[in-house]
């Protein structure tokens, strides 16, 4: 096998975009894209939003047209899991027993939703949300008059709650923290999301956990909380976070630490193996640290860098400011930057939290680490510039809507 070509494991957004980027860079040998789902690569954000609400057709979620793969010489092997990586022989082992040789390998295996570790969580109507199939099942559960319990008030849990209310389904959200999204947003901004959901008649049970799920004939009928409450239900949706799918990397002896550890060119500890998307813990030059980002924009953009790295470009380096978005009811928001839960010392708000039209900034020693625009548009580029600049800014000017954000970069 003189030129075995490049292999990508994981046919999600990152895998599909990597194949596209390799062709864009002029790579003209074989590309094999291996995916264990039956569908061709698709985008997941609509699965908890417009697709879940029945407002977007299935055809709108796919990354490429069905013909795109053959047209670009990408051998898409769907419904097929990679079960091992033989680094010595440079081969990927498939569930079918077949082996595919690689010259360079990209791991784009994404992440998988965590299971709820309580008795009864194996009931048929306890659902998690990752795939389009999961979204279809949840949509079936969101009927007028039905009762669902959402476990976890993170982004996905809250988006599902919003979709449920749009379907006139009664929703209880259970969250162990005292506020939704507390870890990400902190005590000043998280109440905005609590208020939003309460206004839409979501029953928020905060500061409490799930003790067990009561089943009848294999179906969940009641959720028992640690505070003693019992909530009747027709379905339970679990949204308590996701874990990177690192099994293959670990078994192959690559460096793994809550994600496959890669440098800024997205190269693992083996220079012939790269990783991108949810599964990668990449060194971020701007932050000077390794971070793992479970967001759409990261899976969309990192593959271009991975492709250049795989092709040996010494300048390949991924340093975009992390970005994500959410839509819940009439609230749309974009967030840029990266902070650890206690990694800031000040929150500055420009606009009005009450009317939910504002930009919030998280600062450390006068520098903007992250910013979130809520129902205020065409400002995220400027927020990203502020984060990227690392400049100290005057908090009063930051809070003042009359001062253009772009004018704050480079000011003392
Ligand atoms: C419901 C939902 C809503 C979201 N909404 C937003 C949002 O609003 N904004 C935002 O920024 N982000 C959002 N995200 C996150 C975003 O979708 C992810 O960051 C993105 O999908 C990551 O892409 P990926 O290609 O790295 O991984 P994935 O999309 O997980 O793709 C990985 C693929 O690899 C496959 N795979 C894994 N192991 C193997 C193997 N051994 N063999 C073969 N195939 C394998 C998986 O089955 C999967 O198909 C959302 C995610 C979900 C689930």
Q: What gap in Å lies between CA 267 and CA 273, rounded to an integer? A: 6
Q: Is residue 395 one of the residues assigned to a domain?
A: yes
What confidence tens digit (pLDDT) does each residue in 7-58 have?
A: 999 999 999 999 999 999 999 999 999 999 999 999 999 999 999 999 999 9
Element holding 158 (H helix, E strand):
helix 155-166
- Which atom of ligand 1 is least distant from the CA of 324? 11
- Which atom of ligand 1 is least distant from the CA of 95? 42
What confidence tens digit (pLDDT) does each residue in 91-131 have?
A: 999 999 999 999 999 999 999 999 999 999 999 999 999 99
How many Å lie between the centroid of ligand 1 and the Cα of residue 208?
Answer: 29
Long-range contacts from 178-184, C-beta under 8 angstroms, 24+ separation: 178/206, 178/207, 179/153, 179/206, 180/153, 180/154, 180/204, 180/206, 181/153, 181/154, 181/155, 183/341, 184/341
Q: Is residue 22 one of the residues assigned to a domain?
A: yes
Pocket test for ligand 1, best of 95, 110, 372 (most atoms within 8 A of CB): 110
Q: What gap in Å lies between CA 286 and CA 314, rounded to an integer? A: 18
How many Å lie between the centroid of ligand 1 and the Cα of residue 349?
Answer: 32
341 pLDDT band (50/70/90 cuts)?
A: confident
Q: Is residue 315 one of the residues assigned to a domain?
A: no
Q: Is residue 121 one of the residues assigned to a domain?
A: no
How many Å lie between the centroid of ligand 1 and the Cα of residue 229?
Answer: 34
What confidence tens digit (pLDDT) does each residue in 379-406 have?
A: 999 999 999 999 999 999 999 999 999 9
Q: Is residue 321 one of the residues assigned to a domain?
A: no
Q: What gap in Å lies between CA 157 and CA 160, rounded to an integer? A: 5
What confidence tens digit (pLDDT) does each residue in 224-258 have?
A: 999 999 999 999 999 999 999 999 999 999 999 99
How many Å lie between the centroid of ligand 1 and the Cα of residue 370?
Answer: 23
- Which atom of ligand 1 is least distant from the CA of 293? 19
Terminal CA-CA length for the chain: 59
134 lines ligand 1 (CB under 6 A): no
Question: What's residue 412's pLDDT?
Answer: 53
The reply to whether 58 and 202 lie within a common domain is: no
- Residue closest via CA to ligand 1's atom 37 equals 109
The reply to whether 79 and 96 lie within a common domain is: yes
41 lines ligand 1 (CB under 6 A): no
Question: What's residue 1's pLDDT?
Answer: 47
Q: What gap in Å lies between CA 363 and CA 370, rounded to an integer? A: 7
Question: What's residue 10's pLDDT?
Answer: 99
17 lines ligand 1 (CB under 6 A): no
Q: Is residue 118 one of the residues assigned to a domain?
A: no
Q: What gap in Å lies between CA 206 and CA 180, rounded to an integer? A: 8
325 lines ligand 1 (CB under 6 A): yes
- Residue closest via CA to ligand 1's atom 30 equals 110
Query: SS3 for 92?
Result: strand
Q: What gap in Å lies between CA 219 and CA 177, rounded to an integer? A: 27
Contacts of 378 (CB under 8 A, 6+ apart): none
The reply to whether 373 and 272 lie within a common domain is: no
The reply to whether 107 and 251 lie within a common domain is: yes
Nearest to 340 by CA among 367, 372, 364: 364
- Residue 302 has which token pair? 């990192």
Question: What's residue 3's pLDDT?
Answer: 63
Residues 235, 239, 243, 247: what is their CA dihedral angle, to the nearest 10 degrees?
A: 10
The reply to whether 131 and 101 lie within a common domain is: no
- Residue 342 has which token pair? 């206690």
What confidence tens digit (pLDDT) does each residue in 46-83 have?
A: 999 999 999 999 999 999 999 999 999 999 999 999 99
334 lines ligand 1 (CB under 6 A): no
Nearest to 345 by CA among 364, 371, 368, 330: 364
Question: What's residue 409's pLDDT?
Answer: 79
How many Å lie between the centroid of ligand 1 and the Cα of residue 365?
Answer: 35
How buried is 345 (Cβ within 10 angstroms: 0-12 exposed, 13-18 middle, 19+ buried)?
exposed
Q: Is the pLDDT of residue 350 over 90?
A: yes
Q: Is residue 54 one of the residues assigned to a domain?
A: yes
186 lines ligand 1 (CB under 6 A): no
Nearest to 343 by CA among 267, 287, 294, 299: 287
Q: What gap in Å lies between CA 351 and CA 370, rounded to an integer? A: 16
Number of domains present in the structure of the chain: 3
Query: SS3 for 412?
Result: coil
The reply to whether 260 and 185 lie within a common domain is: no
The reply to whether 196 and 217 lie within a common domain is: yes
- Residue closest via CA to ligand 1's atom 49 equals 12
Q: Give me the domain span that covers residue 82.
A: 6-112+243-310
- Residue 61's CB is within 10 A of a number of other CB atoms, namely 19
Q: Is residue 340 one of the residues assigned to a domain?
A: yes
Three-point CA angle 226, 229, 235, nearest 5° = 95
37 lines ligand 1 (CB under 6 A): yes
130 lines ligand 1 (CB under 6 A): yes
The reply to whether 205 and 150 lie within a common domain is: yes
4 pLDDT band (50/70/90 cuts)?
A: confident
How many Å lie between the centroid of ligand 1 and the Cα of residue 247?
Answer: 16
260 lines ligand 1 (CB under 6 A): no
Question: What's residue 295's pLDDT?
Answer: 97
- Alpha-carbon torsion 36, 38, 42, 47, what sign? negative
Q: Which of 240, 270, 293 is the last residue of a domain?
A: 240
- Residue closest via CA to ligand 1's atom 24 equals 110
- Alpha-carbon torsion 371, 257, 311, 65, what sign? negative
**Nearest-10 crossing angle of helices 132-141, 155-166:** 40
Pocket test for ligand 1, best of 10, 49, 275 (most atoms within 8 A of CB): 10
CATH code, 363? 3.30.390.30
259 lines ligand 1 (CB under 6 A): no
The reply to whether 396 and 341 lie within a common domain is: yes
Q: What gap in Å lies between CA 334 and CA 194, rounded to an integer? A: 18
CATH code, 132? 3.50.50.60
Q: Which of 240, 258, 283 is the last residue of a domain?
A: 240
Question: What's residue 411's pLDDT?
Answer: 56
Question: What's residue 212's pLDDT?
Answer: 98
The reply to whether 107 and 248 lie within a common domain is: yes
Nearest to 105 by CA among 30, 175, 54: 30
296 lines ligand 1 (CB under 6 A): yes
What confidence tens digit (pLDDT) does each residue in 256-301 have?
A: 999 999 999 999 999 999 999 999 999 999 999 999 999 999 999 9
Going through 19-68 in order, the beta strands assigned E by DSSP cover 31-34
Q: Identify whether the C-beta of residue 294 lies closer than 8 Å to the C-beta of residue 278.
A: yes
- Residue 97 has which token pair? 């027993």
Q: Which of 209, 240, 271 is the last residue of a domain?
A: 240
Nearest to 106 by CA among 243, 295, 265: 265
Contacts of 98 (CB under 8 A, 6+ apart): none
Q: Half-sphere exposure (CA, 13 Å, Cβ side) for 337?
A: 30
Query: SS3 for 256?
Result: strand
The reply to whether 226 and 266 lie within a common domain is: no
**Mean pLDDT calculated for residue range 370-381:** 97
Question: What's residue 340's pLDDT?
Answer: 87
The reply to whether 184 and 39 lie within a common domain is: no
Question: What's residue 240's pLDDT?
Answer: 98
**Nearest-10 crossing angle of helices 155-166, 182-199:** 10
Pocket test for ligand 1, best of 82, 296, 307, 336 (most atoms within 8 A of CB): 296
């Amino acid at each position: 096998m003189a030129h075995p070509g490049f292999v990508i494991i994981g046919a999600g957004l990152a895998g599909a975009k990597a194949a596209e980027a390799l062709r864009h860079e002029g790579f003209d040998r074989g590309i094999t894209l291996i995916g264990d789902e039956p569908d061709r690569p698709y985008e997941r954000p609509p699965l908890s939003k417009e697709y879940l609400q029945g407002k977007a057709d299935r055809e709108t979620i796919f990354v490429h047209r069905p013909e795109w793969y053959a047209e670009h010489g990408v051998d898409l092997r769907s419904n097929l899991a990679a079960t091992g990586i033989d680094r010595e022989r440079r081969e990927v082992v498939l569930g079918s027993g077949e082996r595919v040789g690689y010259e360079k390998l990209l791991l784009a295996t994404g992440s998988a939703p965590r299971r709820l570790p309580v008795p009864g969580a194996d009931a048929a109507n306890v659902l998690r949300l990752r795939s389009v199939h999961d979204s279809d099942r949840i949509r079936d559960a969101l009927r007028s008059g039905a009762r669902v319990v959402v476990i976890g008030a993170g982004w996905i849990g809250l988006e599902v709650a919003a979709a449920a209310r749009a379907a006139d389904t009664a929703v209880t959200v259970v969250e162990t923290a005292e506020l939704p999204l507390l870890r990400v947003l902190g005590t000043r901004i998280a109440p905005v999301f609590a208020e939003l959901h309460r206004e839409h008649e979501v029953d928020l049970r905060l500061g409490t956990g799930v003790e067990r799920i009561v089943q009848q004939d294999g179906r969940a009928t009641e959720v028992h909380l640690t505070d003693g409450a019992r909530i009747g239900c027709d379905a339970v949706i679990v949204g308590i976070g996701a874990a990177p799918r690192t099994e293959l990397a670990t078994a192959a002896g690559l460096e793994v630490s809550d994600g496959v550890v890669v440098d800024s060119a997205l190269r693992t500890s083996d220079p012939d193996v790269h990783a991108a998307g949810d599964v990668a813990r990449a060194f971020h030059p701007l932050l000077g640290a390794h971070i793992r980002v479970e967001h759409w924009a990261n899976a969309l953009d990192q593959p271009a860098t991975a492709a250049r790295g795989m092709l040996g470009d010494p300048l390949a380096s991924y340093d975009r400011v992390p970005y994500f978005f959410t839509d819940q009811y009439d609230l749309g928001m974009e967030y840029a930057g990266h902070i650890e839960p206690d990694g800031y010392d000040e929150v500055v708000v420009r606009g009005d939290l009450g009317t939910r039209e504002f930009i919030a900034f998280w600062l450390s020693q006068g520098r903007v680490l992250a910013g979130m625009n809520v129902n205020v548009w065409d400002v995220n580029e400027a927020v990203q510039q502020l984060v990227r600049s690392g400049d100290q800014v005057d908090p009063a000017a930051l809070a003042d809507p009359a001062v253009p954000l772009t004018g704050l970069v480079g000011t003392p």
